[in-house]
Amino acid sequence: MDKTVNQKAWFLVLPVFLVVAFSAVLPLMTVVNYSMQDTFGNNQFFWNGVGWFKELLDPSTDLGGRFLASLGRNLFFSLVILAIEVPLGIVVALSMPREGWTVAACLVILALPLLIPWNVVGTIWQIFGRPDIGLLGYVLNAMGVDYNYVSNDFDAWVTVIVMDVWHWTSLVALLCYAGLKSIPEAYYQAAQIDGASRWAVFKAIQLPKMNRVLLIAVLLRFMDSFMIYTEPFVVTGGGPGNSTTFVSIELVKIALGQFDLGKAAALSLVYNLIILIVCWVFYTVMTNAGVERKVQAESGPAVEPKPSPGLKPVPALKPKEGVA
């Protein structure tokens, strides 16, 4: 089913374009404008050229040091939570009950953390982890672990990571579950006839079918963890010291705390650029994955699941054109 070329389709897209342009392009222009200037309050602005950018990328200055340190922390945080949440999410998705009312119950409970306002997520863990009134902190301390996320860097990190795992693993699990649900029963039957092991079924049937949704999951999780703000802000306030100050927290500190518009704007642009690049890489990978499948499906004969003794990866049944 090929799409027809129709330039009039622009009329259908126009409302979206206008709404998003109003919210995205206008403010971004303001940011670009600010990033080139310095202000001494009273709405007096002075041309500063690329000064802020130079400072930002130079670790020896105050601004650059803070930015690069928070960027490093943020990248490390994103990698850690991806390394935990993706495998855990797959395992949870594979553990979903097959049918009956328990499926709906599990889905609802899984989705619950996703619908809690982010500051409340912070509040929940702030309370839960406190050594005096929180269950977690109390139990840990009673067991002899000296746990206090307010004063200890390591504990603060663990709290923030566990909180993120609590908050977002469900998203990965739900995505993977959706991918698993789309596998036709015939695949499993064929694998059973071939006497494939559990692991072989996972590697050759389930994992390839989850490819697509896993990409979405990794993309969403990376992006959202890379711009995380509210939850760590509520729990640790970026501390102790600066140990859990991520890029967004640093940015808000500079922009709304110190009202240093020029610095904040320069930081915003670099921050946005990093996100744009990562986003583009993912997008290209996703689009190419879609195209490759299409080519495979068209050139290869039937895409019947015929697991050979070696159980080669089974190509997708429904190749879909386009993105994601």
Please report how close the Cβ of residue 81 comes to other proteins at its closest, in angstroms.
Answer: 15
Cβ distance to other proteins smaller for residue 119 or 242: 119
Do you know the residue count of the chain?
324
Token pair listed for 154: 């390591």
**Cα–Cα distance measured from residue 241 to residue 127, given in angstroms and rounded to the nearest whole number:** 20
CA quadruple 25, 31, 37, 39: dihedral sign: positive
Cβ distance to other proteins smaller for residue 60 or 142: 142
37 three-state secondary structure: strand
Cβ distance to other proteins smaller for residue 12 or 60: 12
Please report how close the Cβ of residue 106 comes to other proteins at its closest, in angstroms.
Answer: 7
**Cα–Cα distance measured from residue 232 to residue 26, given in angstroms and rounded to the nearest whole number:** 29
Residue 225 exposed, middle or buried by CB count within 10 Å (0-12, 13-18, 19+): buried
Please report how close the Cβ of residue 286 comes to other proteins at its closest, in angstroms.
Answer: 10
In sequence order, what are the residues at sequence separation of 6 or more whose Cβ sits closer than 8 angstroms to the Cβ of residue 49? 36
Please report how close the Cβ of residue 290 comes to other proteins at its closest, in angstroms.
Answer: 10
Please report how close the Cβ of residue 301 comes to other proteins at its closest, in angstroms.
Answer: 24
Contacts for 229-234: CB closer than 8 Å, 24+ residues apart = 229/118, 230/118, 230/119, 230/121, 230/122, 231/118, 231/119, 231/121, 231/122, 231/125, 231/160, 231/163, 231/164, 231/167, 232/122, 232/160, 233/122, 234/118, 234/119, 234/121, 234/122, 234/123, 234/126
Which helix (H) or strand (E) segment holds residue 45: the answer is: strand 45-47
Cβ distance to other proteins smaller for residue 60 or 199: 199
Please report how close the Cβ of residue 296 comes to other proteins at its closest, in angstroms.
Answer: 18
Cβ distance to other proteins smaller for residue 15 or 301: 15
Please report how close the Cβ of residue 149 comes to other proteins at its closest, in angstroms.
Answer: 14
Residue with tokens 């690329």: 50
Cβ distance to other proteins smaller for residue 161 or 201: 201
Please report how close the Cβ of residue 127 comes to other proteins at its closest, in angstroms.
Answer: 6
Please report how close the Cβ of residue 103 comes to other proteins at its closest, in angstroms.
Answer: 9
Cβ distance to other proteins smaller for residue 80 or 88: 88
DSSP code string of 224-237: HHHT--HHHHHHTT
Cβ distance to other proteins smaller for residue 43 or 60: 43
Angle at 143 between CA 142 and CA 146, to 5 degrees: 80
Residue 113: DSSP 8-state: G
Cβ distance to other proteins smaller for residue 3 or 60: 3
